[in-house]
A and B are shown apart, each in its own frame.
Chain A
Amino acid sequence: MNGKVNTGSNGSSENKKNKDPVHLFSSWCKKCGICIAICPKKVLERGPEGYPYAARPEDCILCGMCDIHCPDYAITLRKKDKDKDKDEEAEHEEAK
């Protein structure tokens, strides 16, 4: 596994609101498990290869605990759709 991996894909992605709340850069992840243990909502679980993935994305409250405690900066919160729109707008502006 390399580069940006969509961790939500292994879990249930039904929840529309919080689909794929976190991003994992698997090539930086050392599978230490801290993010999984620190998550207050037990959103994350270890996948078959040892990498964490959002098993219960619908429970994620976007608290950022996983992100801040990852020693390898391998897990980060996905931008909210609102933020994404903003960024796209900005890009659009630039392109003009």
Chain B
Amino acid sequence: MKKRNDVLLQGNEACALGALAAGMRFYAGYPITPSTEIAELLSIELPKVGGIFIQMEDEIASIAAIIGASLAGAKSMTATSGPGFSLMQENLGFAAMAEVPCVVVNVMRGGPSTGMPTRASQGDVMQSRWGTHGDHPAIVLSPGSVLECYTLTVHAFNLSEKYRTPVIVLMDGIMGHMSENIKIPEKLEIINRPKPTVPPIWYRPYDDIPGGEIVPLVPFGEGYRYHVTGLVHDALGFPTLVPDEVNACLKKIIYKIKNNLHDIIRIEKYLLDDADICIVAYGSVARSAREAVNMARQEGIKAGMLRPITLWPFPRFNLEDIGRKVKVFVVPEMNYGQVYGEVLKACHKKVVRVTRVDGELITPDEIMKKIKEVTI
């Protein structure tokens, strides 16, 4: 593939190219608007680099296939939208439980159910956190530009390999279909799967190492024969119901994320230093929010924006800090207030929301109107 610099790309295309740059060599998916372009582009590009593209019979099979491919050592990904993301939930939990790295892209569209296939939404924020059953970890990234669709996809693979967990790239339909001129970064950090540090008999794929070190996942076929299951398992991967082992297993998958928030969480602060009003916005809505901040500043209102790039784990501590300085939070989002609820939990200040679920983008004017309401 030619190196593409300074190119006009759609968010979906940038995501696909980012995945290739990260070393993704296995893609399985099922067509669904507004994510399909990712599959289409990868069906062209993956064979060129000797990678595998396969269109599976549904989304359940798609995520199953990428988990399988990852266990065989390939960096792997699938992309979908709402209804398909719902179908993936059981196996997403499997990947979290069995600690298999993989990347799932969900280009959100209007829901629930078939909803509005061609209209954008941010309605899957909570599903991306709690979609699968049981207590489980979640890393969810939200790109706010076409460039970020590229870089965050790379980052998603890095986090996934580093923490041996599925990572979700949560885009919205506007982000996926928006075109921008971007300069493809020449050098980006790429994390590859670490090699095993012990010979096969000493290998304990699910060991809980004090200090939180994560055991490298050795691909099938390299002489390290071990068992992988979605059942609660012991350090060797075998099913267990011994309370101590159950606790260790479940705690580990959650705490490997919780203990590394500083590494995982990324946020963007915009004009927040002296702000009285903090807008919390992500994805395409953050673009309107930035504009609204500029408008407010022109009118002498001290507004700023916090953009969670990592939606989950939610940047609660950053919000707490900001909450000590600002008077009010405004949370615009294309749902009825999914992140709004998280902001409420994180700080004891006034929090207001601007919501839209009709498939249209929230405009800077709408946010500005709310800013004015709260400044009076």
- Asked if A and B form a direct contact in the complex, defined as CB atoms under 8 angstroms apart, the reply is no
Residues of B within 8 A of A (CB): none
Binding site for B on A (CB under 8 A): none
